[in-house]
Every structure is written in C-alpha cells, then in structure tokens.
Structure 1
Amino acid sequence: MKIKEILSILEEMAPLAYAEDFDNVGLLVGDNEAKATGVLVCHDALEAVIDEAINKEYNLVVCFHPILFSGIKKITGKNYVERAILKAIKNDIAIYAVHTALDNHQHGVNKIFCDALDLVNTKVLIPKQNFIQKLVTYTIPENVEKLRNALFDAGAGQIGNYEDCSFNSKGIGTYMGNENSNPEIGERFEFVEAEEIKIEVTFEKHLQSKILKALFKNHVYEEAAYEIYNVENVHQNIGLGMTGELKTEMSEIDFLKMVKEKMLCGGIRHTEFLNKPIKKVAVLGGSGAFAIKNAIQAEADIYLTADLKYHNFYEAESKIVLADIGHFESERFTKNYIVDYLTKKIANFADSLSLDKIILSEINTNPVKYL
C-alpha cells in the first residue's frame, strides 16, 4: 500500500474537518506517494520514536499529539521538536497526527476514555457548533428518488442516530429559458409552470463539495436551483468531552481508586469530596479546565480531565468533584484504538500491508514521572 491509502483510512477514522481551528493535524512530514513499509503508532512522535521506526524500517509514524504544533521558522535541531523532524526527513519517514480530529469524534478519545471506565449512556459534553449546513433544492417528481438517494450516499441526511433524513414538499416552479438554454421541460423562450418537489437535507459542512457534485450529477435540469444555509444547531455527535453513567453508583473514594487502577495513573489530584455517590461522570481527555462549567451544567457528579491549575480547583464551587488524572493517562488508550482500527480496515485490502507491520511504539513518551 502507498502511504496515502493508509492516510485515507485514518481520515475515515478521524476526519480532519473535525479538528479544532487551533490544531495542526494530518500529514506533517513526508511523501504520501511512498510505499508504506510499516506503521508505528505512538502518543508523541519524539526522536526516540523516530529512532524506533528507523530500526524497524517503518516509514510511517502515526501520532496522537502533533509534533509540529505552532509556527516554526527554522529547523536546526536545537530542540526536541526540530530533532525529531530533522531525523524523520533524513530517513524518509512520514509523520501523521490525529489529535482533536479524534478528540471530537463520537467514537474517539473520550468514548475510549468512557469505555475504559465501563460507562454507559454516553453523550458528547460540548457539541460542535457551526458545523451543519442545509441544502434546499427543487426537482420534478420523476427525479426525486434518484436525486435524494444520491445526496444521502454523499453524506447528507444524517441526524443523530438517524440517516436518510429529508423533508419534501410539493409546489409549482416557474422558469423561462433564453437562446442558450436547453430546458428539460418546455422550449426556449417559453414560460413554464411545472410541478416540483422541494428537497431539504442537512449535512456536515466539510461535505459541501461532495454534496454539490452529487446534486449536479443527478439533477435532470440543465441548471439546478439550490440554496445552502449555515445552520445554528449544534452537532450532537461531534464535540469535545463526554458524559456517561456508572452501571452501579460508587462512593467517591472507591470510584477514584477504580479510575487510578484502570487508567494506570501515577496519582490523582482532586477537590474535596462532597460525600455524595458517583453516578454520572464527565470526562475530557487532555487539558480540560475550559470545560469545568460544562461538566457542572451537565449535572455530572465528577469531572475527570488533566492539566488543572491551582485556581481551577476552586471552580468546582462545591457542585462537582474535579479530578486531574494526568494528561497522558487520560489519553493513554487512544493509540491502541488507532492500531486496532487500522488493522481491521487494512485487512480488507487484497494487496495490503502485512498486518504485523502495524504496531504500537515501545517508547513511553509520557514526560511526567511519579515517586
């Protein structure tokens, strides 16, 4: 397989359009036309991981955190970022990062977090805004089914747990073609009144070009009338963080002991216990201080995240237990998910990469150590 074929699978797993605007995801270094010799999956693409890829003769490193995050003007090897990039370039190793593209996915980082704690009834904590658009178009009754199905196939009509969603209404369309027209109904310069069906469907905004391609290809009219609107509805299945529920409520201390054991935490910093049982849990892998208010509004009993500063703990306001379990720890099983996903998908390719060439890095890239 070429590297670009593997990247297309990764983009199915975590569409780059799902990433936050501040992020730097996708192919960071390398030639996507090169033949893949192996995939090494890691949390952070540090120099030691690049060395591991070199030793194993793997030329694609898939990392969770982007090693190139903010602007960089020189690559001279003066710091850990530049050394990793230089070594990757010198050895023809591609680096691909998923980060918030997978954070925001309903089956991504925070679902993995919830699953590790055996939580049920999971929902996105902060649904993504400004991500939904609506297409309105008009066609003759004979074209409705073909056109509508083509729009569905292109990704339109997905609402929550439902697909193929649309609204259709009858009306009368009018038009008159000029000397350059080729009307489906009527003649040039003829005023036409035709029965038409109005089709309305919503879609994720990054699919707009695909939706329009399906519209133009499957519409019978020479000129397809359509409008696209930005919709203010939040996308309930995409967004940061997640809430879930324990099957059986637990005491605060017993719950945190369970979290420490299952997430392999070196330690957990937390606010004062409220002496209430834990039933509803909010989680956000990585730095999650910004979502404390969201966890409180969701009426969670406890919020698990990382990188909380001293004053963030005051924000609990005796309404919730806040627990900082560690940045790496809160995301630690993400790389396992990536390996499993790639292995299952690539197994379907007849001429594919050997499945034993998709592996987890042996390097522990967690920079935080505990006594």
Structure 2
Amino acid sequence: MKIQELTTYLEEIAPLSYQESYDNSGLLVGNPQEELTSVLISLDCTESVVDEAIAKGCNLIISHHPIVFKGLKKFTGANYVERVIIKAIQNNIALYAIHTNLDNIFGGVSSKIGEKIGLTHTAILQQKKNLLLKLIVYVPRSHVESVREALFEAGAGSIGRYDQCSYNTAGYGTFRPLEGAEPSIGNIGQQERVEETKIEVIFPKSKERNILVAMYSSHPYEEIAYNIVTLENSFQEVGSGIIGNLSVPMAEEDFLRHLKDKLNLTVIRHTALRGKEVSRVAVCGGAGGFLLSDAKRSGADFFVTADYKYHEFFDAEEDIVIADTGHFESEQFTQELLLEIIRKKFANFAVLITEIDTNPIKYYS
C-alpha cells in the first residue's frame, strides 16, 4: 500500500477543506507514492517521536498538530522544527498532520472527549457555513433514475440523518443542434423539445469533483445544462466543539471529579461553581475560548476546553462554569481516535500509538 492510499482515506473522513485558514494539515514531508511499511500516531511530532518511528520501522508519522505552521526558509537544525524535518527526510519518514479538519468533523476530536465523559445526544456546537453546495441539473426523463442514483452514489443528497434526498421538477427543455454537434437526441439544424426533470441535490463542497464526474458519466447529453449554488445553510456535520447531555445529572463537584477520572487529569482550572446540577455540557478540544457564547446559547452548564487566559475566565459571568483541562489533556484521545478511524478500513495494517509523552507542560504537586 502506498502512503497516498491512507492519506486519501483520511481526507475522505476529514477533508482538508475543513481546516481553518491558519492551519497546515496534510502531507508535510514525504513522497505520497512511497510504499507504506507501518504508521506511528502521535499528538505532536517531536524528535523523540521520529526516533521512535525509526526504531519501530514506521515510515509515516501521523500527528494531530502540524510540525510546520509557517514557511521555513532554512534547514540548519537551529530549532526543534528544523531538526524534526531534517531527521525525517534523512530517514525517509513521511510526516502527515490532521489538525483542525479533524477538530471540525462530527465524530472528531471533541466528540471523542464527549464519548469519554459519557455525553449523549451530541451535536456540533458551532456549525460552519458556506460548505454546502446545491447542484441543479436538467435530465431527460429516460435517464432521471440513473443520473440521480449516480449522484447519490457520489455523495450527494445527504442531509443530517437522511440520505438520497432530492427535489425533482417536471418540465421540458428546448435546443437546436448546430453543425459539429453530436446530439444524443435530435437532428442538426432542427429544434427539439424534450420532456426533462430538474434534479436538485445538496452536497458538501469537498465532494464537488466526485459529484461532477458522476453527473457527466451518467448524463446522456453532449452539453449538460446545470449550475452549482453555494448555500448559506449551516453544515450540521462540520464545525467547532460539541454540545451534549449527561445521561444522569450530577452535582458540580461530582462532575469535576468525573472529568478528572475519565480524562486522566492532574488538575482542572475552573470558574466559580454555581450550586446547580450539571446536565448539559459543551466541549471543545484544544483552545476553545472562542466558543463560549455558543456554549452559553446552547444552555450548557459546563464548558470543557483548554488554554484559557486569566482575564478570559471572567467572561463566564456566572452563566456557566468554564473548566480548563489543559491543551494536551483535552486532545490526548485523538491518538486513540485516529487508530480507530484507520483500523475501520485497514484492519490488518500495522498502526502504532507513540509511547512518548509529548506534553511540554509538567505539573509539580
């Protein structure tokens, strides 16, 4: 198996188009056509992780955090980023990052935390917009079923927990083939009137190429009348953080103990407790302070995230309890998540989780 086969699969699960503008997910180092031996998964890509990959014979490291965020102008080994890149290249180890695109899918990083702490009826906390497109295509009646099925097969027509969704309007189209045309219906120089159906389907922007290939391969016309519209609708399956419910409400201190136990935490920084039961919880792996307003609007009693600064804690304003678990701690189960994702498709392939603790923050107690 080549590296590209695995990375293509990962990008079907978490398309690169879902990453934030500042991010740098994808294949950072290596030849995608290289034969893949085995994979090492890590939250961060450090020198010790590369050494571990060398020792274990892994020629691909998949990390959550990209080792490169900005352009590099020199490779002198002056800092750990350059040393990691140099060592990876010298040892023919590819480096792949799957960061905010994995954060932004339902079933991603935040969902994994929600699973660990027992949240039910979860949903994306802040849904993204401008990621859905609508295809409108005009099809002769004889080919409506085959075109529609081809579009469904390519990924069109999924809305929430429903698939094969389409809207179909009957009508007729007119056209006149000119010299040089090769019409499947009609004759050169004669206007034709054909009973047609207008098919409308919604699909994610990341699947646009597949949808167009399916349309062109299944449609009988030489020239196809269609248009694609960008929708303002929120995408229910893509966005930041999650919101969910505890199956059994807890007292606030009990919930803090629950968090500490389920997430293997040393310490939790939090705002003042409000003396209320905890039943609804918002979660964001990593730095999630930008979602506080969404957490409040969703009716959350607790907001579990990381990287809060001193003054930002005041923004809770006793409307919610903010619980800062630490950045590494909030994303530690991403390694387990990636292992599960890969093994769903490649069950017999060697995929290892690093034994290196890459958390740069230590606690003294």
User: Are 2:38 and 2:59, in contact at CA under 8 Å, matched by a contact in 1?
Assistant: yes
Specify the alignment match of 1:246 in structure 2: 246
For residue 13 of structure 1, report the CA deviation from its aligned partner. Answer: 3.1
User: Are 2:172 and 2:194, in contact at CA under 8 Å, matched by a contact in 1?
Assistant: yes
| Equivalences for residues 66-85 of structure 1 within 5 A | 66-85=66-85
For residue 262 of structure 1, report the CA deviation from its aligned partner. Answer: 0.9
For residue 211 of structure 1, report the CA deviation from its aligned partner. Answer: 1.0
Tell me the amino acid that sits aligned with residue 265 of structure 1: L
Specify the alignment match of 2:310 in structure 1: 310
For residue 183 of structure 1, report the CA deviation from its aligned partner. Answer: 2.5
State the distance in 2 between where 1:99 and 1:293 align.
Answer: 23
For residue 241 of structure 1, report the CA deviation from its aligned partner. Answer: 0.2
Specify the alignment match of 1:144 in structure 2: 144
Instruction: Look up the SS of the partner of 1:359 in the other structure.
Output: strand
State the distance in 1 between where 2:185 and 2:93 align.
Answer: 58
State the distance in 2 between where 1:216 and 1:8 align.
Answer: 23
Deviations 1:291-337 (A, max 9, x none): 11111111111100000011111111211111101101111111012
Specify the alignment match of 1:107 in structure 2: 107
State the distance in 2 between where 1:71 and 1:114 align.
Answer: 35
For residue 125 of structure 1, report the CA deviation from its aligned partner. Answer: 0.3
Instruction: Look up the SS of the partner of 1:315 in the other structure.
Output: helix
Tell me the amino acid that sits aligned with residue 244 of structure 2: G
For residue 134 of structure 1, report the CA deviation from its aligned partner. Answer: 0.6
Tell me the amino acid that sits aligned with residue 364 of structure 1: D
User: Are 1:122 and 1:243, in contact at CA under 8 Å, matched by a contact in 2?
Assistant: yes
| Equivalences for residues 1-371 of structure 1 within 5 A | 1-347=1-347, 355=349, 357-371=350-364
State the distance in 2 between where 1:220 and 1:341 align.
Answer: 38
State the distance in 2 between where 1:164 and 1:344 align.
Answer: 24
Instruction: Look up the SS of the partner of 2:42 in the other structure.
Output: strand
User: Are 2:44 and 2:63, in contact at CA under 8 Å, matched by a contact in 1?
Assistant: yes
For residue 217 of structure 1, report the CA deviation from its aligned partner. Answer: 1.1
Q: TM-score of the superposition, structure 1-length normalised?
A: 0.96
State the distance in 2 between where 1:365 and 1:44 align.
Answer: 6
Tell me the amino acid that sits aligned with residue 154 of structure 2: A
User: Are 1:30 and 1:95, in contact at CA under 8 Å, matched by a contact in 2?
Assistant: yes
User: Are 1:266 and 1:369, in contact at CA under 8 Å, matched by a contact in 2?
Assistant: no
Tell me the amino acid that sits aligned with residue 259 of structure 2: V
User: Are 2:15 and 2:206, in contact at CA under 8 Å, matched by a contact in 1?
Assistant: no
For residue 106 of structure 1, report the CA deviation from its aligned partner. Answer: 0.9
Q: How many residues align?
A: 364
Tell me the amino acid that sits aligned with residue 211 of structure 1: I
For residue 39 of structure 1, report the CA deviation from its aligned partner. Answer: 0.7
For residue 344 of structure 1, report the CA deviation from its aligned partner. Answer: 3.2
Tell me the amino acid that sits aligned with residue 73 of structure 2: K
299-308 vs 25-34, greater mean Cα deviation: 25-34
For residue 19 of structure 1, report the CA deviation from its aligned partner. Answer: 1.5
Instruction: Look up the SS of the partner of 1:168 in the other structure.
Output: strand
State the distance in 2 between where 1:341 and 1:192 align.
Answer: 51
Percentage identity across aligned positions? 47
For residue 341 of structure 1, report the CA deviation from its aligned partner. Answer: 2.3
RMSD: 1.2
Deviations 1:181-219 (A, max 9, x none): 222332122122221100000111121121111111111
Deviations 1:243-292 (A, max 9, x none): 01000100111101110111111211111111111000000000011111
Tell me the amino acid that sits aligned with residue 76 of structure 1: T
Q: TM-score of the superposition, structure 2-length normalised?
A: 0.97
State the distance in 1 between where 2:331 and 2:278 align.
Answer: 22
For residue 4 of structure 1, report the CA deviation from its aligned partner. Answer: 1.8
Deviations 1:157-190 (A, max 9, x none): 1111111110001012111121122223321221
State the distance in 1 between where 2:26 and 2:268 align.
Answer: 32
State the distance in 1 between where 2:182 and 2:5 align.
Answer: 41
For residue 17 of structure 1, report the CA deviation from its aligned partner. Answer: 2.1
State the distance in 2 between where 1:14 and 1:182 align.
Answer: 41
State the distance in 2 between where 1:142 and 1:193 align.
Answer: 14
State the distance in 2 between where 1:9 and 1:205 align.
Answer: 17
Unpaired stretches in structure 2, ≥5 consecutive residues: none
Instruction: Look up the SS of the partner of 1:8 in the other structure.
Output: helix
State the distance in 2 between where 1:47 and 1:359 align.
Answer: 17
Tell me the amino acid that sits aligned with residue 273 of structure 2: F
User: Are 1:134 and 1:230, in contact at CA under 8 Å, matched by a contact in 2?
Assistant: yes
Tell me the amino acid that sits aligned with residue 132 of structure 2: I
